[in-house]
A and B are shown apart, each in its own frame.
Chain A
Amino acid sequence: MELFDYKLLLAVPAIPIVGYVIQIFFGRHLPRKGDWMLTGGMFVVMCITVYMFLTKAIGFEPSPGNAALLHESAKEGGPIFGWLYSSAEKAPGFNLVAGIMYDGLGAAMLMVVGVVSFFVHLFSLGYMNGDRRYHIFFANISLFTFAMLGLVLSDNIMFLFIFWELMGLMSYLLIGHFAQDPDSPRITHAAAACKKAFLTTRVGDTCLLFGMALFYWKFQTFQFTELWRLSAEEVARNGGEYPMWMTVGGFFIFGGTVGKSAQFPLHIWLPDAMEGPTPVSAMIHAATMVAAGVFLLGRTFPMMSPEVLAIVTAVGAFTALFAATIGCTVNDIKGVLAYSTISQLGFMVAAIGTGGLGLVAGLFHMVTHAFFKACLFLSAGSVIHGCHHEQDMRKMGGLRTKMPITFVCMTVCTLAIAGMPLFSGFFSKDRILQGTLGNLFTQFRGASALSIVALSLAAMLTTFYMFRLIFMTFFGEPRDHHIHDHAHESPWPMTVSLMALAALGLFGGHFWLLHPTDPLAQGHHGTWFTQLVDWKTMYGGVFDPMAANMIVDRYNPYHLVDGQYVLDSAIVAAGTEHYEHAVHGAHYWALGISLLVLSLGLFGAWLLYYKRKVDPARITGALGFGYDVVRDKYYIDEAVDGSVIKGTMWLSRVQKWIDEKLVDGLVLLVGRIGKILGYICSWIDKYIVDGAVNWVGYTTQAFGSVARLFQTGRIQQYISFAVAGGILIAAVHILT
């Protein structure tokens, strides 16, 4: 059974990559350009991931959510692919072994990626129909799915990084999909957007590489399990203090998250990434790829020191609020969703920074968000498709009768993202607030206090701008009759995807998903995710989040005994109990806050955009300059353009000057010196060397012409000489 499981897990990334290779070479010649092959492959992948997820979660294995979940780590019989593997004698310590890690978090994430990817493929059958580069689109999106599945299954940070980079490349290709189409009206926008996305995320990727290198330098391993264990040991050895280098390394790893998950200040690529086709936006820039940064935080959480976690919380909470304010001013239907994505990612990141339950809540929100945000984006795609590629919400309105399925699905997911009770988003967002409050109650960190305020406001704005979108698009009088008259419901592959994802958006957070027959088995506050991923055991027992996190608290669990620090488990238990008590107390506060902000935001949107009691223009007019700042996205793009891009351009101009004047001058000088030397050498060659050679020739010729005089060719003369010579020799003989 276990071996069978492993083979199934290997098939998960294998199917898309094989499909990609076939598609990229032969896709053009296949019937229907090969879309059925990749979509069918993704259906198989989805079935496998869901089957594996249910196997893990419901209980073909007993008691999920504990250390046993880590058993697929490479060491214990899982598949190992030696890669850059060296023997101990030749290069001790360096070996890179790829294995599969399939713990609770991985299982949940793999299932999400499998399901969302399949429905995005299915949706694309309808949405991308008639596209000039249809087969290339399917090939790329399939390779992207491969990268994301590989990232989730990686058991070491090096392979995670490889897949991470592959996703960066695929997002470049997919955002720039229309940049390759000469007939596309947005060709230059798409080209600029894909370049921007690639370069901006590259900043974060470089940070991640630094962080990885730092941890590898100290720990000599890339394996997650080893990194967790060694981090915990390092902290214990220092008596609970995180060494400086771990703070620096953790900060750099968080930099990777900032880039990939579009946190401030590297969020600027995500809104522009909406230039890509809508299914791409749904899968890459809402549901899966941006979640990779959050997933990375979940995987590397034990390596993060409290200082880094405070930064994580602060950045996440700030991003959540900051993006939510921009989201209220955007008129592009996909733009609203783009800023909403940034904001929701901020929620996840902020929650993970608070540790404990917040960590689980952030990861849980990543899962539920993937479902409802994919559905929202695909619904937006359906609207755009139905309105013949009109994206401006001000020209829509009254579409609910024209596109009933899209309307229902989008409303369901809007309720989910707004945190309406019994919708999936409610469970995760509620727990984010609960975790942040719990952290505030136990540790009184400034970051937690500010983040709870920021997150509450952001949650209210989320409700506001999402219902603004719904009201502007589907309700009221049609504002553009041409568009309204021609609007139509989308074909079945699109509506089926929408309905499936909307169902997941509705039910995806419910506790009884895992216990369909016995809904109350785990008590009223257990969701399936918190059963699967428990913060106390999710790092396999090698790392105790509470023990590591309590150093800023009044409990210090480390005691100095015989010159070595030992962990006092009684204090850890007491601290854990204290924390759980605080979290439990925070539950009702969190519930109250979520319901309050939900009703406020909903009421505001209803008043402004449904009843139209107050004209939004009056409010924006009253806000004046403040509104302009928000509408222009706080001038972040301009600031980056003015500082980083202009700075780089200026630097390159300086370098060009140096190159032209100094380096070229030097080269020219060398050239000129060489030329002069050449003249000298040429003179020496011509007059001295050639002269000597010619002199030898002339001399030989002169001697030759003298000797020639005797060579008359007359045999009689020769004989005379011979006789004379004989006589001479005889005379010499005789006379001497």
Chain B
Amino acid sequence: MIPVGAYVAVSVALFALGVICIVSRRNIIYVLMGIEMILNSASINFAAFGRYNGDGLEGRIFVIFIIILAAAEAAVALAIVLNVFHLFHTIKPSEVDLLRE
């Protein structure tokens, strides 16, 4: 049986990659993709700890919820991106800085 530490390690790696993706990419689509990666790393954690703690369904149900939620969030986020592009004529996060005010 693969020890839980391995799953956590994968999850941490995925989380770190996601954060780097969010912070460093110049395209907002990649930022969204980074968010998906972070959500997936959380899913891995849920699944791994759920399996490790016993054979209940809790971990897996959380994963299914997260996937549904990620899909909905992606749809909303892409709609926002469309509107942002419509407004700013760019999808560079560095140039969308109206929140500063």
With A713-B98, A713-B101 already in contact, the answer to whether A720 and B23 are too (CB < 8 A) is yes
Question: Which of chain B's residues has its CB closest to A710's CB?
Answer: B100
- Is A613 at the interface (CB under 8 A from chain B)? no
For A716, what are the chain B residues with a Cβ–Cβ distance below 8 Å? 22-24, 31, 93-94
Interface size class of A (residues with CB under 8 A): under 10
A713-B101, A716-B31 known; A723 and B19 CB under 8 Å? Answer: yes
Give the 10 A-B CB pairs with smallest separation, nearest first.
Answer: A713-B100, A713-B97, A713-B99, A720-B23, A716-B93, A716-B23, A714-B97, A711-B100, A723-B19, A714-B94
Residue of A nearest to B15 (CB): A723
Residue of A with least CB distance to B95: A714
Q: List 5 A-B contacts (CB under 8 A).
A: A713-B96, A715-B93, A716-B22, A716-B93, A723-B19
Residue pair A719, B100 in contact (C-beta under 8 Å): no
**Contact call B93/A712, Cβ cutoff below 8 A:** no
Are B99 and A715 neighbours in the complex by a CB distance under 8 Å?
A: yes
B25 and chain A: residue at smallest CB distance: A716
A-B pair number, CB within 8 angstroms: 31
Nearest residue, chain B, Cβ from A718 = B99
The residues in A between 703 and 736 inclusive whose CB is less than 8 angstroms from any CB of B are: 711-716, 719-720, 723
Partner of A719, one of B23, B98, B99, B101: B23
> What distance in Å separates the Cβ of B57 from its nearest Cβ neighbour in chain A?
30
Q: Output the nearest chain A residue to B31 by Cβ-Cβ distance.
A: A716
What is the distance, in angstroms, from B94's C-beta to the closest C-beta of chain A? 6
B73 to chain A minimum Cβ distance, whole angstroms, is: 15
Q: What is the chain A residue whose CB lies nearest that of B34?
A: A719
Contact assessment for B23 and A723 in the assembled complex, using a CB-CB cutoff below 8 Å = yes
Smallest CB gap from B35: residue in A:
A719
The minimal Cβ–Cβ distance linking B45 to chain A, given in whole angstroms, is 16
A714 to B23, CA, bound (A): 10
What CA separation (Å) do A174 and B83 show in the bound complex?
98
Interface extent on B, as a size class? Answer: 10 to 19
Residues in A with CB closer than 8 Å to B100 are 711-714
| Contact partners of B31 in chain A: CB under 8 A | 715-716
Nearest A residue to B94, CB-CB:
A714
Cβ of A713: which chain B residues have Cβ within 8 Å of it?
Answer: 96-101
Q: By CB atoms of chain B within 10 A, which of A712, A716, A719, A720 has the most?
A: A716
User: In the complex, which of the residues B19, B22, B23, B97 contacts A712, with contact meaning CB atoms closer than 8 Å?
Assistant: B97
Q: Which residues of B contact A719 (CB under 8 A)?
A: 19, 22-23
B75-100 interface code vs A (CB 8 A; 1 in, 0 out): 00000000000000000011011111
Q: B98 — which chain A residues lie within 8 A by C-beta?
A: 713
Q: How far is the CA of A711 from the CA of B97 in the complex (A)?
A: 9
Residues of A within 8 A of B99 (CB): 711, 713, 715
Interchain CA distance A641-B31 in the complex, whole Å? 113
With the chains together, A239 CA to B78 CA distance in Å?
Answer: 127
Q: Which of B1-56 contact A (CB under 8 A)?
A: 19, 22-24, 31
Instruction: Chain B residues near A714: list those with CB within 8 A.
Output: 93-94, 96-97, 100
In the assembled complex, how far is the CB of residue A634 from the closest CB belonging to chain B, in whole angstroms? 103
Please name all residues of chain A whose beta carbon is closer than 8 Å to the beta carbon of B93 when the two chains form the complex: 714-716
Measured CB to CB, the closest approach of chain B to A267, in angstroms, equals 98
User: What's the nearest-Cβ distance from chain B to residue A556, in Å?
Assistant: 116
Chain B residues with Cβ under 8 A from A715's Cβ?
A: 31, 93, 96, 99
A723 neighbours in B (Cβ, 8 Å): 19, 23
- Bound-state CA distance A719–B19 (Å) is 8
* B97: A residues at CB distance < 8 A: 712-714
Chain A residues within 8 Å of B94, by CB: 714, 716
Assembly CA distance A250 to B97 (angstroms): 106
Given contacts A713-B100, A715-B99, A719-B23, 9 further A-B contacts (CB under 8 A): A711-B99, A712-B97, A712-B100, A714-B93, A714-B94, A714-B96, A714-B100, A716-B22, A719-B19
**Alpha-carbon distance between A42 and B62 when the two chains are bound, in angstroms:** 117
Chain B residues near A712 (CB, 8 Å)? 97, 100
With CB as the reference atom, state the residue of chain B lying closest to A726. B19
Chain A nearest CB from B76 CB (Å) reads: 16
Bound-state CA distance A719–B93 (Å) is 12
A662 to chain B, nearest CB (A): 69
Shortest Cβ distance from residue A373 to the other chain B in the assembled complex, whole angstroms: 105
A200 to chain B, nearest CB (A): 90
**How far in angstroms is the closest Cβ of chain B from A482?**
108
Q: In the complex the two chains form, what is the Cα distance from A715 to B19 in whole Å? A: 12
Give the distance to chain A from B16, nearest Cβ to Cβ, in Å.
10
Report the minimal beta-carbon distance from A528 to chain B, rounded to whole angstroms.
Answer: 114
CA distance A649 to B13 in the complex (A): 114
Residues in chain B near residue A711, CB distance under 8 A: 99-100
In the bound complex, residues from chain A placing their C-beta under 8 Å from that of B24 are 716
State which residues 50-95 of A face B: CB under 8 Å. Answer: none
Which interface residue of B31, B94, B96 has the most chain A CB atoms within 10 A? B94
- B96 to chain A: which residues have CB within 8 Å? 713-715
Inter-chain CA distance A712–B96, complex, in Å, is: 10
Residue of B nearest to A720 (CB): B23
**Least Cβ–Cβ distance between A96 and chain B, in angstroms:** 84
**B101 to A, closest residue via Cβ:** A713
Shortest Cβ distance from residue A94 to the other chain B in the assembled complex, whole angstroms: 82
The CA-CA distance from A720 to B20 in the complex, in Å, is: 9
For residue A376, give the distance in angstroms from its CB to the closest CB of chain B: 107
B32 to chain A, nearest CB (A): 12
Nearest CB in chain A: distance from B18 CB, A: 11
Question: Which A residues are in CB contact (< 8 Å) with B19?
Answer: 719, 723
Q: Which residue of chain B has the shortest Cβ distance to A727 in the bound complex?
A: B19
Instruction: Name B16's closest neighbour in chain A (CB-CB).
Output: A723
What distance in Å separates the Cβ of A711 from its nearest Cβ neighbour in chain B?
A: 5
Alpha-carbon gap, A712 to B94, bound state (A): 9
Distance from B23 Cβ to chain A, minimum over Cβ atoms (Å): 5
B50 CB to closest chain A CB (Å) equals: 24
Docked Cα-Cα span, A712 to B93, in Å, equals 12
What's the minimum C-beta distance from B30 to chain A, rounded to whole angstroms? 11
Report the minimum CB–CB distance from A266 to chain B (whole Å): 94
Residues 610-624 of chain A: 1 if any B CB is under 8 Å from the residue's CB, otherwise 0? Answer: 000000000000000
Q: Report how far A713 CA is from B93 CA in the complex, Å.
A: 9
CA distance A711 to B23 in the complex (A): 16
Query: In the complex, A711 Cα to B31 Cα: how many Å?
Result: 20
Bound-state Cα–Cα, A711 to B98, Å = 10
Q: Which of B31, B96, B98, B99 is most buried by chain A, counting CB atoms within 10 A of its CB?
A: B99
| Distance, CA A720 to CA B99, complexed state (A) | 16
* A residues near B23, Cβ cutoff 8 Å: 716, 719-720, 723
Expressed in whole angstroms, the minimum distance between the Cβ of A667 and any Cβ of chain B is 59
A715 to B99, CA, bound (A): 9
Give Cα A562–Cα B18 distance, bound, in whole angstroms. Answer: 133
Considering the chains assembled together, what is the distance between the CA atoms of A713 and B88 in angstroms? 14
A723 to B97, CA, bound (A): 19
Q: What sequence of 0s and 1s flags, for each residue 517-529 of chain A, a beta carbon within 8 Å of any chain B beta carbon?
A: 0000000000000
Docked CA distance A719–B31 (Å)? 11
Shortest distance from the beta carbon of B88 to any chain A beta carbon, whole Å: 12
- Cα(A712)–Cα(B95), bound, Å: 10
Q: Give the one of B31, B93, B101 with max A CB within 10 A.
A: B93
A residues less than 8 Å from B101 (CB atoms): 713
Instruction: Name the CB-closest residue of A to B93.
Output: A716
> A336 CA to B96 CA in the complex, in Å?
116
Q: Please, what's the 1-or-0 string for B53-65, where 1 marks a CB less than 8 Å from any CB in chain A?
A: 0000000000000
The smallest C-beta distance from B83 to any residue of chain A, in angstroms, reads 15
* Distance between B91 CB and nearest chain A CB, rounded to angstroms: 12
B13 to chain A, nearest CB (A): 15
